[in-house]
């Protein structure tokens, strides 16, 4: 076994590349969190399928290395979906092309990583983006570090052990499957190791100060326990039911939910800048159950009219909307009433901002019809 070395000079390069790749490529669960989940699975082998449990019991370190492997690729979201390392089809290939038992244990760890990321990408990160709409940017890296601060010292010791071992055969196996968008696989692996150590330094020296400076960005024990429970449930389901597990129907990248959350974050941020009347507790009561339910079904959110009414009157008005069904689309009269209400409440918005809001909220045909009518009036 060789020893993997850490090059301090790579840290600045890594941070630059993470910023370059953008928040889309930020890790959802950090490496320590994934290891923590993997260690918990090793304590509950009786809950898994007997052949898988026997395999993981024989090769625990191979399994744990697999729980880290999908995040080796830096800038992974620059890859097309068919080659994305968080694609179930790619993960299946890691298992199906494994010819030896220790590689199969590694592959089950790889698949388990994706199962845990279902919760991170479809629920935890998207909801946090919406919940903290009052901040201009959604701090993905902040929430990753906050979650990793709940990990115990035992997990960090295992991380150090793994970082000093050379998994050459596993790396060769992945090299034949994964296509890195920015670097060759060996460079990707070294950058990942650097990220892991840099993450621990951030945890030790900066996380507490960052939490104190951002006291409003709360991650309490209840949220941590809920996300941990949901992630472990999906990992156990995968390792119990194998490739027939229902969770393989859910996108582990959470691409759709993240796009919706980013748009919601922008909209709510603009609304609160104009009105300063949006109750953040109501936003949480409305959206948390909807994003949580999207772990098992397609995310459906209320229409703009229902949302504004809920923010004014309370979330009870959404009782029929968003429970796995598309909300009723409002008619033209509802849209006009919404626009009239928004126009009365906004504080002297500029013409361009008002037009942009109208374009976002009104159906395309109705917006164009109103625009043509206004142009005709101006010509007269």
* The model's pTM: 0.70
pLDDT band at 243 (very low <50, low <70, confident <90, very high): very high
Percent of the chain with pLDDT over 70: 57
> Domain count of the chain?
1
> Looking at residue 11, what is its pLDDT?
41
> Looking at residue 148, what is its pLDDT?
76
- For 66, other C-beta atoms within 10 Å of its C-beta total 30
Would residue 355 count as lying in a domain? no
pLDDT digits (tens, 9 = 90+) for 300-341: 776 555 666 665 555 554 544 444 333 344 444 444 444 455
Angstrom distances, CA of residue 186 to CA of 3, 192, 205, 287: 14, 10, 29, 41
| Coil, helix or strand at residue 99 | coil
Rounded CA gap, 239 and 68, in Å?
17
Would residue 212 count as lying in a domain? no
The conformation of residue 215, written as its DSSP 8-state character, comes to T
Would residue 85 count as lying in a domain? yes
pLDDT digits (tens, 9 = 90+) for 55-114: 999 999 999 999 988 877 654 554 555 555 778 988 998 999 999 999 999 999 999 999
Picking from 321, 356, 322, the residue whose alpha carbon sits closest to that of residue 339 is: 356
Tokens of 110: 């790889």
Better-predicted residue by pLDDT, 137 or 170: 170
Would residue 151 count as lying in a domain? yes
Would residue 378 count as lying in a domain? no
Would residue 295 count as lying in a domain? no
Rounded CA gap, 352 and 345, in Å?
17
> Looking at residue 369, what is its pLDDT?
66
Would residue 332 count as lying in a domain? no
> Looking at residue 353, what is its pLDDT?
56
Rounded CA gap, 156 and 264, in Å?
36
Would residue 102 count as lying in a domain? yes
pLDDT band at 133 (very low <50, low <70, confident <90, very high): confident
Taking only Cα atoms into account, the Rg of the chain, rounded to an integer number of angstroms, comes to: 23
Rounded CA gap, 63 and 183, in Å?
25
Is residue 30 within 8 A of residue 42, CB to CB? The reply is: no
Where in the sequence is the domain holding 76, given as residue range(s)? 23-205+219-261
Least confident of 11-15, 43-47, 242-246: 11-15
């Amino acid at each position: 076994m060789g020893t993997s070395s850490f090059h301090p000079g790579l840290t600045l390069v890594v941070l630059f590349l993470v910023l370059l790749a953008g928040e889309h490529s930020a890790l959802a669960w950090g490496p320590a969190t994934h290891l923590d989940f993997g260690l918990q699975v090793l304590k509950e082998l009786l809950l898994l399928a007997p052949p898988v449990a026997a395999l993981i019991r024989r090769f625990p370190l191979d399994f744990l290395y697999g729980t880290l492997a999908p995040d080796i690729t830096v800038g992974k979201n620059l890859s097309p979906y068919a080659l994305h390392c968080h694609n179930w089809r790619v993960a299946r290939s890691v298992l199906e092309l494994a010819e030896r038992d220790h590689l199969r244990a590694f592959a089950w760890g790889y698949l388990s990583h994706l199962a845990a990321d279902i919760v991170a990408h479809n629920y935890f990160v998207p909801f946090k983006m919406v919940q903290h709409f009052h901040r201009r940017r959604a701090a993905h890296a902040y929430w990753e570090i906050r979650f990793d601060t709940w990990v115990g010292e035992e997990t960090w010791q295992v991380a150090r052990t793994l970082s000093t071992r050379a998994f050459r055969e596993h790396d060769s196996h992945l090299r034949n499957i994964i296509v890195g968008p920015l670097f060759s696989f060996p460079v990707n692996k070294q950058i990942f190791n650097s990220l892991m150590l840099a993450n621990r330094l951030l945890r030790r020296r900066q996380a507490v100060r960052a939490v104190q400076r951002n006291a409003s960005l709360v991650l309490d024990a209840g949220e941590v326990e809920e996300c941990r429970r949901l992630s472990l449930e999906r990992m156990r389901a995968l390792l119990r039911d194998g490739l027939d597990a229902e969770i393989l129907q859910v996108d582990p990248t959470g691409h759709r939910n993240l796009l919706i959350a980013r748009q919601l974050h922008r909209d709510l941020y603009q609304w609160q800048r104009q009105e300063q009347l949006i109750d953040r507790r109501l936003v949480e009561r409305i959206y948390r159950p909807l994003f949580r339910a999207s772990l098992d079904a397609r995310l459906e959110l209320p229409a703009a009219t229902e949302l504004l009414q809920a923010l004014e009157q309370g979330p009870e008005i959404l009782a029929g909307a968003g429970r796995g069904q598309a909300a009723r689309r409002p008619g033209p009269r509802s849209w006009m009433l919404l626009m009239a209400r928004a126009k009365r409440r906004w504080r002297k918005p500029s013409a361009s901002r008002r037009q942009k809001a109208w374009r976002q909220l009104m159906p395309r045909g109705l917006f164009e019809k109103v625009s043509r009518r206004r142009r005709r009036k101006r010509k007269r």
